[in-house]
């Protein structure tokens, strides 16, 4: 607003610190008296001092470096990928989808994606959501197994105690089977 109203250098320099706080205000308070001759000098000094603090914005080529780790879940991969894509301005959805698919680790899900070839991010996300549900179910089952084993260890069987499980009885699939009427011939040829 001050620029639009044509404020002079002294007015800009005096109003500048009113918009600062924290580290920026501390920096401003340590500027030696008489070292700034214009608002342009003040701006240049400020930028030089805080340029290392600027947020680095990645480009779309950075997406190719994000890979799903061998033992990382799809959910972890999608979360990391999303954090980076949010920071990339004007990201082309086709580039986004390509990088997302190419970063998947080899396995059944990547094969499914390769075969079904989702054409939009929405299609990919739907398939990924189903896969994440499957992974969560598997993880829950793995967590239950050790707990069941620990319960079995807490209540060991005594030698006189019978096993409550029923014995497995094997039954033939068919009532009658055709019997072979010739014996196997042994081949004299060696390979």
**pLDDT by residue (tens digit) across 35-64?**
888 888 888 888 888 776 666 667 888 898
Q: Are 95 and 22 in a shared domain?
A: no
Least confident of 22-36, 88-102, 131-145, 162-176: 162-176
User: What average pLDDT does this structure show over 12-33?
Assistant: 84
**Spatial separation of the C-alpha atoms in residues 93 and 91, rounded to whole Å:** 6
Q: Are 78 and 100 in a shared domain?
A: yes
Q: Are 70 and 47 in a shared domain?
A: no
Q: Are 84 and 23 in a shared domain?
A: no
Q: Are 75 and 142 in a shared domain?
A: yes
Q: What is the pLDDT of residue 172?
A: 77
Task: Read off the pTM.
Answer: 0.49
Question: How far is residue 123 from each of residues 106, 116, 117, 127, measured CA to CA in Å?
Answer: 20, 10, 9, 6
Domain contains 98: yes
Domain contains 45: yes
Average predicted confidence (pLDDT) for the chain: 82
Q: Are 36 and 76 in a shared domain?
A: no
Domain contains 84: yes
Least confident of 92-96, 156-160, 164-168: 156-160
Q: What is the pLDDT of residue 160?
A: 60
Q: What is the pLDDT of residue 113?
A: 92
Cβ–Cβ < 8 Å for 127, 78: no
Domain contains 182: no
Q: Are 103 and 80 in a shared domain?
A: yes
Q: Are 82 and 45 in a shared domain?
A: no
Domain count, the chain: 2
Describe the chain by its helix, strand, coil percentages, rounded to 5. 55, 0, 45
Domain that holds residue 110: 60-153
Domain contains 3: no
């Amino acid at each position: 607003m001050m620029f639009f109203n044509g404020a002079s250098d002294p007015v800009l320099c005096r109003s500048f610190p009113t918009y600062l706080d924290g580290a920026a205000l501390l920096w401003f308070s340590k500027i030696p008296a008489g070292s700034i001759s214009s608002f342009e000098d003040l701006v240049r000094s400020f930028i030089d001092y805080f340029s290392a603090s600027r947020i680095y914005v990645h480009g779309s080529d950075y997406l190719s470096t994000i890979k799903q780790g061998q033992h990382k879940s799809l959910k972890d991969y999608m979360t990391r990928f999303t954090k980076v894509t949010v920071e990339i301005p004007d990201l082309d959805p086709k580039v986004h989808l390509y990088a997302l698919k190419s970063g998947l680790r080899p396995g059944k899900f990547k094969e499914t994606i390769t075969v079904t070839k989702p054409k939009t991010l929405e299609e990919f996300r739907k398939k990924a959501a189903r896969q994440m549900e499957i992974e969560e179910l598997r993880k829950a089952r793995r967590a239950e197994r050790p707990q069941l084993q620990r319960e079995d260890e807490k209540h060991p069987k005594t030698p006189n105690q019978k096993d409550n499980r029923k014995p497995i009885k094997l039954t033939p699939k068919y009532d009658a089977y055709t019997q072979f009427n010739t014996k196997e011939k042994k081949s004299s040829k060696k390979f």
